[in-house]
Structure 1
Amino acid sequence: MFCNTNLTGFHFTLIMSRATKKRFVMKELDTQFILPESNQLIAKCLASRGNNLHEVLDQKGDQYLASMPTKFRNTVWIKRGQYILVESIEEGDKVKAEIVNILDSENILHIDANGQWPESFADEVEKLKRSTNKKGGEDDIDLPPGFSDDESEGDENEADESEDDEEEEEK
């Protein structure tokens, strides 16, 4: 990435190294919650066809090739079945879209919460909701081995009984 700036007569060019580029792209993918714009579609990756081309199935049911932009090349890999955000392009017969963003589970849930997740992929959101409920539910509190809520309630009852016994002995 080149950045040309002119500060009081000096001309600087910033060249981003491969490692810096990878960190920048990965941070961008991890931290941003993306909502599809009017010219963008959500698609499911069906297969990788090589040369940074991926066969996708979009929310309308159309199947075509989508190209990986240069900022993602050799930095991010798309797995079969993963959801992506694509933007249609006019040129080309076979390649009809370019990948804008790769959607992770958090981004998918964010899009669904805003009511923009397509009905054709609704089953994926249900799977994600079930898996997050299993993993992060309030009922799944990590307790030390051998400790349960029933035991703790029993301990309180035993403490109350011992206090009652002490009071009876004093009388």
Structure 2
Amino acid sequence: MSKQAAAIPYASVDLSVGGPGGLLILAEQADGLTFWQSSSRETIVFRGGYLNSTRGLQRNLLSNRLTSGGEDIQPWGLAADQPVIYRVERSWENTGGQPQAGRAQATFACNDELESVELPLTTLDLSRCTETLEWDSGKTTRSVLWRHPDTNRIWAGDAVAWPGGPQVTWQVARPWW
């Protein structure tokens, strides 16, 4: 993957959904969102490097809203000195393509110690952050994000967006910022 990423001069991410994956190139940027499209037209959308939605997959993340006190937030962009608590509202498709929805109480907490993370084109010392979602259904999902300690930009992630959803992993190869 490193050789392929180095040969492409465009913003790219190494991404997999529920198993095998590949290198995706930035297709578009708008209003803090980045759109990444595969050769078979599956689309992954990130907001600030955080998984926001998908299209064209067997099961899609349709919508994603994170709020605190009724205001939209981006917990990865906040200070890491204490956990951030917020609400998550998401909708997705089940394996039959039927829309589902859920709400969760979320906690976003980052480790103080930095970890050396090998990315496709570089190795960075990043902070490991865990997002724990306690769903109203009684289920729990956890995702791990690695963010830069100075900029709070997400460089890698390993996420399950809803209970029973596919595991989505990504690493920034060539940044878009």
Same fold by TM (over 0.5)? no
**Shorter-chain TM-score range:** under 0.3
State TM-score, norm by structure 2: 0.20
State TM-score, norm by structure 1: 0.21
Structure possessing the higher relative contact order (Cα contacts under 8 Å, 6 or more residues apart): 2
